[in-house]
Amino acid sequence: MDAAYAGSAAIVPEFRHILNGAERADSLVVNPHKWFFTPFDLSAFYTRRPDILRRAFSLVPEYLRTAQDGRAVNYMDYGVPLGRRFRALKLWFVMRYFGHEKLAETIRNQVAWAHELAAAVDADPHFERSAPAPLSVVCFRYKGTDDENRRLLETVNATGEFFLSHTVLRGKFTLHLAIGNMGTTRRARHAGVGGCAPCGRRALALMWGRLSACGGLSGRPSRRKTWAIYDGDRVAR
């Protein structure tokens, strides 16, 4: 079962359902470096059939044979390399320092911010959402050509305020925003008249404004609206 990104959300009680059915899988993998605030690279792999891994990877020449102890796990029998770094230590530091409640709160907040941005996209006549946003990833696009969306991506990333990636969904170039950095915060800023508005909407206005300024769009967003932006570290994995 591939839970590389979303598996981390299962530590939040209201999101545990995402692993429903995992008890029927032979194996489960989660990548803590994707959404568990752990430096690259680290995978947490669980299997109920370790014997299959040993049959696939164990290749022990005579000079590596040692006495077997049932209490010890020889990890060279479970993958290609004979040796490996102590990757699990950095995950232990994260869990030990923050604890379950802080980690769950952070993931819960990031999901809420993504939902706010998804709602802002749905409410904007110039943008459309390209896929459901159940967790902290929002896929959306400007209602224009693929080239306009590519220029939009490049222009927004050039600001350095946050970072978007892209994908292709149903044959269309799509903007991809993932919130997953421990340093990312939700901070509403005043912009124009009207005070603070729902988080995420200035991100759309910024895209419009930057691309309109370089002639990429035929029109400008209303400057009477007030927007807010995701703040902190770059809003991406």
Query: Which domains, ranges and CATH numbers included, belong to the chain?
Result: 6-91 (no CATH), 99-231 (3.90.1150.10)
Per the rule left: phi > 0, alpha: psi between -120 and 50, beta: everything else, 202 is: alpha
> What is the b/e burial string over 41-63, where b = at least 16 CB atoms within 10 angstroms of the residue's CB?
ebebeeeeeeeebeeeeeeeeee
Q: What is the DSSP letter of 172?
A: E
Q: What is the DSSP letter of 36?
A: S
pLDDT at 16 over 90: yes
pTM of the model: 0.74
Q: What per-residue confidence (pLDDT) applies to 181?
A: 85
The packing angle between helices 146-158 and 201-213, to 10°, is 100
- Answer yes or no: are the C-beta atoms of 164 and 177 closer than 8 Å: yes
Q: What is the DSSP letter of 135?
A: S
- Answer yes or no: are the C-beta atoms of 228 and 199 closer than 8 Å: yes
Nearest Cα to Cα of residue 103 among 91, 94, 115: 94
Count, residues in the chain: 237
> What's the rounded mean pLDDT across residues 96-121?
92
pLDDT at 83 over 90: no
Q: What per-residue confidence (pLDDT) applies to 63?
A: 66
pLDDT at 60 over 50: yes
- How far is CA 113 from each of CA 32, 76, 137, rounded to the nearest angstrom? 20, 42, 10
Least confident of 23-37, 65-79, 222-236: 222-236
Q: What per-residue confidence (pLDDT) applies to 30?
A: 94
Radius of gyration from C-alpha coordinates of the chain:
22
| Residue in the block written with tokens 């459901």 | 132
